[in-house]
Amino acid sequence: MSLAEKIPQQLQAKIDNIIDNVEPSPWLNAAEQADYIEKIKALLKEKDAVLIAHYYVDDAIQALAEASGGYVSDSLDMANFGAQHSASTLVIAGVRFMGETAKILSPEKTIIMPTLEAECSLDLGCPIDEFSQFCDQYPDHTVVVYANTSVEVKARADWIVTSSNAIQIIEHLMAKGEKIIWGPDRHLGQYINNKTGANMVLWQGYCVVHDEFKLNELELLMQAHPDAEVLVHPESPEGVIAKADFVGSTKQIIAAGKRSKADTLIIATDHGLFYKMSQQVPDKRLIPAPTGDKSATCKSCAHCPWMAMNTLVNLYEALRDGSNVIEVDEVTRQKALIPLNRMLAFSRQQGILTAGDA
Ligand code: 13P
Ligand code: SF4
């Protein structure tokens, strides 16, 4: 077994254990929820802070981000918004790599997260020492990593990509004749290989949420809804991606939904996206792609266990106490900044990010 396959497999038990021990969010009644929202809004003003949330976090946090002058988006756009915003504190509701990305881009700002326990299976499945050893086996290859990685892995990379810009960046590198190592998501890597012919060497990590989407059940659902369009996040398995009418990042899936003429959309991504999606396309029927078939487990819920760790309560406490601050080593940060800035500059040039996005 190659190094690229061994490490993610070894980590599976650890990841399963983490998922099994995720604490359920505290239940709040409507009055308590409203009270937390008002207290958080007041603290955001008092502390010159802005709340930036990913589409997969709790609906109430997404609504609060928007109502308080913050932002809800995909990982690329969150990074761009935070870097361009004038607030001295960024509160990142999402998973740790998103907070770290904000810190890499804005070292002068205080970056707070509702919890520092919110990980990502892609990040956990790509430890720096083993990944670096893997890269060393291909010294003439350009190292491209997904944003869902640690600061150390980013610092080892030549390029960072997100699902919004991965295809364009790989095509750009191919045009220059570069050979490429890709990590950590094997499904996204395979999708890029299939679409571009890049023949990248793939690390074998995966997202525990998207890996659960099931082809057989999706086919049955498509038969039941023959006019539906299928929108898929590229962290999903190859067979599921092959059925898609559109493949893209969370933000791009929403945009594709808005463009779509179909009355019904089948969506293969974390169900957190349905909050924003249903606002944007209120007249369409939205159906979650199936995660359950004969091999389904209790983890097949299409919701990221780490995103779910962000709650109004821990968000309030972190902001109140100035706790859960993201720190990164300065030397590593400066190394990681190079490929990150490369990605942002490329994305702006290509119109994937526009200067006015923030
Ligand atoms: P996006 O960049 O599409 O927001 O994806 C981030 C992520 O973690 C999806 O699982
Ligand atoms: Fe990571 Fe998957 Fe969660 Fe996204 S949904 S943060 S890729 S574990």
* Choice from 148, 267, 273 to test ligand 2 binding pocket (greatest atom count within 8 A of CB): 148
CA of 144 to the centre of ligand 1 (A): 17
CA of 209 to the centre of ligand 2 (A): 6
pTM of the predicted protein model? 0.93
Nearest ligand by distance to the CA of 147? 1
Q: Where are the CATH 3.40.50.10800 domain residues in the chain? A: 12-120+307-327, 122-208+331-350, 210-288
User: Hey, what are 303's tokens?
Assistant: 């919701």
Q: Kindly report the protein residue whose alpha carbon is nearest to atom 8 of ligand 2.
A: 120
Q: Which fold has domain 122-208+331-350?
A: Rossmann fold (3.40.50)
Superfamily of domain 12-120+307-327: NadA-like (3.40.50.10800)
77, 142, 183, 326, 352 from 122: Cα distances, Å: 19, 20, 9, 19, 24
Coil/strand/helix, residue 231: strand
Q: 48 — alpha (psi -120 to 50), left (phi > 0) or beta?
A: left
Asked if residue 95 has its Cβ within 6 Å of ligand 2, the reply is yes
User: Hey, what are 263's tokens?
Assistant: 């009355």
Coil/strand/helix, residue 285: strand
Q: Kindly report the protein residue whose alpha carbon is nearest to atom 8 of ligand 1.
A: 148
The CATH class of 210-288 is alpha beta
Contact 102, 114 (CB under 8 A): no
CA of 31 to the centre of ligand 1 (A): 32
* 40-71 as b/e: b if 16+ CB within 10 A: beebbeebebbbbbbbbbbebbbbbbeebebb
Give pLDDT tens digits along the chain (358 positions): 777 777 777 777 777 777 777 666 778 899 999 999 999 999 999 999 999 999 999 999 999 999 999 999 999 899 899 999 999 999 999 999 999 999 999 999 999 999 999 999 999 999 999 999 999 999 999 999 999 999 999 999 999 999 999 999 999 999 999 999 999 999 999 999 999 999 999 999 999 999 999 999 999 999 999 999 999 999 999 999 999 999 999 999 999 999 999 999 999 999 999 999 999 999 999 999 998 765 555 556 788 999 999 999 999 999 999 999 999 999 999 999 999 999 999 999 999 886 444 3
